[in-house]
Amino acid sequence: MDHYAVFGNPVGHSKSPIIHRLFAQQTGQKISYDPKLVPIGQFTEVANNFFEKALGCNITVPFKEDAFQFANELTPRAQLAGAVNTLKKLQDGTILGDNTDGIGLVRDLKNAKVLLKNQRILLLGAGGASRGVIEPLLNEQPQQLIITNRTHEKAQTLVELTKHLGPITTERYENLNDPVDLIINATSASLSSELPNISKHTIKPQQTICYDMMYSRELTVFCQWAKQHGAAKTIDGLGMLVEQAAESFYLWRGILPKTEAVLRFLRQHIT
């Protein structure tokens, strides 16, 4: 049996084991997939041991940069994201680092029939989560992708890094007063039930769609805020989680699992 895992700290809450076990069941693949609590500062040691017997792993907080450093080779999308969420041992023993978060977000948006082409998209945050989704969003040819961040300089740096890829600009929170078509919250604010300092005027009632990369059983504070101001639709990040997992599974096993039933299962059992 081939072995896989998710590395994180903490990792007990991770939904990846259940998602990958469901994928394996659905596609008839004989694999094991376990959570692995990695002590801070010991990523390389744990990963080296792991890859003596195993074929791949997902990486979650706070090790995505460690995984980026650990990989012997990087896919172009991982290189652009500056972070790795999937490692795969190739036949010659090389460890390949990939990042499936961005494609996961775009697929989830498409599943929800959210238009991206020619749309004005506002991306909140300029950390790892935000950086990982910029290129896949620009590939969808939006009219404009605006990045805003509490620490403005970080947004400016991201724009410098990616402006050759498409129409990306930055704006300070306090200067955002016009409605956009889609707002994506890639900040970690929802983790502490905080809201980014964003004007309600960025929402055009009945038209703007709001997406929070976080998810929880109840509406996230960002989705609550969006509803309160009339957003046409709010979506949380559970679907993105399932879609990025499907792409990792594809990288490892060469089969892209179906995601709809898995997402439905998680939605029913989310804690």
Summarize as ranges the residues that interact with ligand ATR (CB under 6 A). 125-130, 149-151, 154, 187-189, 194, 196
Q: Name 268's Cβ contacts closer than 8 Å, sequence gap at least 6.
A: none
* Catalytic one of 30, 36, 53, 64: 64
Query: Binding residue per annotation — 127?
Result: yes
Nearer to ligand ATR (CB atom), residue 192 or residue 271: 192
Q: Is 187 annotated as a binding residue?
A: no
Structure tokens belonging to residue 180:
């956009």
Q: Is there a binding annotation on residue 215?
A: yes
The answer to whether 5 is annotated as binding is no
Nearer to ligand ATR, 34 or 171 (CB): 171
Task: Compute the distance between CA of residue 118 and CA of residue 211 in angstroms, rounded to an integer.
Answer: 18
Q: Closest distance between ligand ATR and the C-beta of residue 173, in Å? A: 8
Partners of residue 97 on adjacent β-strands: 74, 87
Q: Shortest distance, CB of residue 268 to ligand ATR, whole angstroms? A: 26
Cα angle 223-228-232, degrees, rounded to a multiple of 5: 70
Query: Does 20 belong to an annotated binding site?
Result: no
Q: Which residues of 176-187 are buried (b: 16+ CB within 10 A; e: fewer)?
A: beebbbbbbbbb
Query: Smaller CB distance to ligand ATR: residue 154 or 227?
Result: 154
Least CB distance from residue 193 to ligand ATR, whole Å?
A: 10
Look up 64 and say whether it is catalytic: yes
Nearest distance in Å: CB 196, ligand ATR: 4
Residue with CB nearest ligand ATR? 127
- Three-state SS string over 165-221 comes to HCCEEECCHHHCCCCECEEEECCCHHHHCCCCCCCHHHECCCCCEEEECCCCCCCCH
**Sheet hosting strand 95-98, strand order edge to edge:** 31-37, 2-8, 56-59, 86-89, 95-98, 73-74
Q: Which is nearer to ligand ATR, 116 or 124 (CB)?
A: 124
Q: Are 149 and 155 in contact (CB under 8 A)?
A: yes
Q: Which residues are catalytically annotated?
A: 64
Q: Which residues contribute to the annotated binding site? A: 14-16, 60, 85, 101, 125-129, 149-154, 213, 215, 237, 244
**Which residues carry a binding-site annotation for shikimate?**
14-16, 60, 85, 101, 215, 244
